[in-house]
Amino acid sequence: MSEAHAPRLLVVGANHRSASLSLRDQMFIDDAMVGAFLGGLKAAGLHEALVLSTCDRVEVWASHHDDDLCARLVAEAFGARTGLPPAALSGQLYDWAGPDAVRHVFTVTASLDSLVIGEPHVLGQVKTAHRLARDAGTVGPELETVLQAAYGAAKIVRSETRIGEGPVSIAAAAVQMAREVHGELGRAKGLLVGAGDMGELVAESLLAAGLSWLAVTAPRASRAESLAETLNAHVMPFESLREALAEADIVVCSMGGRTVQLTTDMIGAALKKRRRKPVFLVDAGIPGDIEPAVNRLDGAFLYDLSDLERVALEGRSGREQAARAARTVLDNEINGFLKGRAGRAAVPAIVALRQRFEESREAVLAEAGTDAALATRLLVNRLLHAPTEAMKGAAAEGAEWKAMEKTLKALFRLD
């Protein structure tokens, strides 16, 4: 990172590509803890920051004048959160500053950096993080400006591309297949295992389609409780998973770990207790959470994300094409924002230049009176005196003259 400079945007955190699931789980900050976490950062000297904490990522978006200090403060805060020294986190944390941080924030907000590209509720997660930071008093002009621009860019991406249709159609396919197994969902009971974003999306769609009862369970109780509150669902202890499986007509698993969470033996035992009453299972984990052999059990109907994509008639090529189109639109929005910001950065210098010229004009008029020729000659000489001396000095030095000459020709259109 660079040396100290004017305040600018920074991002420090870990996501599904940089860090293990276990570390992200340790780093996870639920809504109730965000205020205290941001308060700690503020006390340490980071006055403008928000926390985005999801199953995909745990990040701090901040504004500070010293990139290195900001990265260190956030790493120390995450270290205190996990009980790990910053050195142990360094290989799994990333940091972005300036235009790179802006690009990251725009990309995340437009849901182009998620496990499943185009997740429609990512924007809602960012807005929640924004609100919590505002409540904590840690949103300033830099964050506010970037966030509002990112929201606008995300809206344009949604309206001009088909990027949002993939995840929505997956959830719609899950509802369709659940109805084929159980008919109308008003009498069905659901179980959401894990707190992954795709699982939450499927659960939301099932509830909207009439699912009468839903329970949420996860290894980390606080995450289950937070998600259950969001979905207006019940909480089941993770230790009671086997019993909960026996009660569920619809099971959505969204752990996204590296090991199978629901085995054939577990589902077989649940079916036995259910007297072979069928169960519809959605494996929304990336990688998968449910043992594929479950599909061979009588009464078990297992669909993973690929199955649901096929049901929804949306192939991978179509989604990738939409993603490419979305990235092109987003790139245009990012470049426009950065260009506009760079232009605004010149405003103070322009104001100072105009003020200096106006002072010179007033002094010349006071000296020359009504003699227009004298006034204009004096004004030109005085305005050119300091630049002329600077150019002579630069030409004598040699090193800076070529750049100065090029700038001079561009400013006054001398070519």
Give the pLDDT confidence of 169-185 residue by residue, as tens digits.
678 889 989 999 999 99
pLDDT for 161 beyond 90: no
Instruction: Note the pLDDT of residue 178.
Output: 94
Q: What is the pLDDT of residue 140?
A: 92
Mean pLDDT comparison of 13-22, 71-80, 111-120, highest-scoring range: 71-80
Q: What is the pLDDT of residue 328?
A: 92
The proportion of the chain whose per-residue pLDDT surpasses 90, expressed as a percent, equals 53
Q: Is the pLDDT of residue 190 over 50?
A: yes
Q: Which residues are catalytic?
A: 55
CA distance 409 to 197: 55
Query: In sequence order, which residues have a C-beta less than 8 Å from that of residue 264 and are 6 or more positions away?
Result: 291, 293, 294, 296, 297
**Given CA atoms 347, 352, 358, 360 in this order, what sign does their dihedral have?**
negative
**Range from 134-143, 251-260, 290-299 carrying the lowest mean pLDDT:** 251-260
Which pLDDT belongs to residue 71?
92
Per-residue pLDDT at 99: 93
Q: What is the DSSP string of 300-360?
A: EEEEEHHHHHHHTT--HHHHHHHHHHHHHHHHHHHHHHHHHHHHHHTHHHHHHHHHHHHHH
Q: Is the peptide bond before 99 cis (omega within 30 degrees of 0)?
A: no
Per-residue confidence (pLDDT) for residue 169, from 0 to 100: 64
Instruction: Indicate the pairing of strand 8-15 with strand 57-64.
Output: antiparallel
Better-scored residue on pLDDT, 69 or 410: 69
Q: pLDDT: is 408 or 30 the higher one?
A: 30
Residue 3's pLDDT is 42
Q: Quick one: pLDDT at residue 6?
A: 67
pLDDT for 52 equals 96
pLDDT, position 319 = 64
Q: Provide mean pLDDT across the span 373-400.
A: 80
The per-residue pLDDT for 109 is: 95
Whole-angstrom distance, CA of residue 69 vs CA of residue 256: 33
Q: Band of the pLDDT at 344, cuts 50, 70, 90?
A: low
8 Å CB contact between 90 and 17: no
Could you tell me which residue, 368 or 256, shows the higher pLDDT? Answer: 368
* Cβ-based neighbour number of residue 47 at 10 Å: 17
Distance (Å) of CA 82 to CA 28, 131, 271, 397: 9, 25, 39, 55
Per-residue pLDDT tens digits for 8-47 = 899 999 998 888 878 888 899 989 999 999 999 999 999 9
State residue 2's pLDDT score: 42
pLDDT at 80 over 70: yes
Residue 4: is its pLDDT beyond 60?
no
Q: What is the pLDDT of residues 345-364, one digit of tens each?
A: 666 777 777 888 888 888 88
Which tens digits make up the pLDDT trace of 197-218? Answer: 889 999 999 999 999 999 999 9
Those residues with Cβ within 8 angstroms of residue 146's Cβ, 6 or more apart along the chain or in another chain: 9, 102, 105
pTM of the model: 0.61
Report the half-sphere exposure of 338 (CA within 13 A, side-chain side): 17
Q: Pick 137 or 20 by higher pLDDT.
A: 137
Res. 315: pLDDT tops 90 = no
Per the prediction, the chain carries an average pLDDT of 87
Using the predicted structure, report yes or no on whether residue 237 has a pLDDT greater than 70: yes
Helix axes 99-109 and 316-345, enclosed angle (nearest 10): 140
CA gap 136, 308 in Å, rounded: 41
**Arithmetic mean of pLDDT, 386-396:** 80
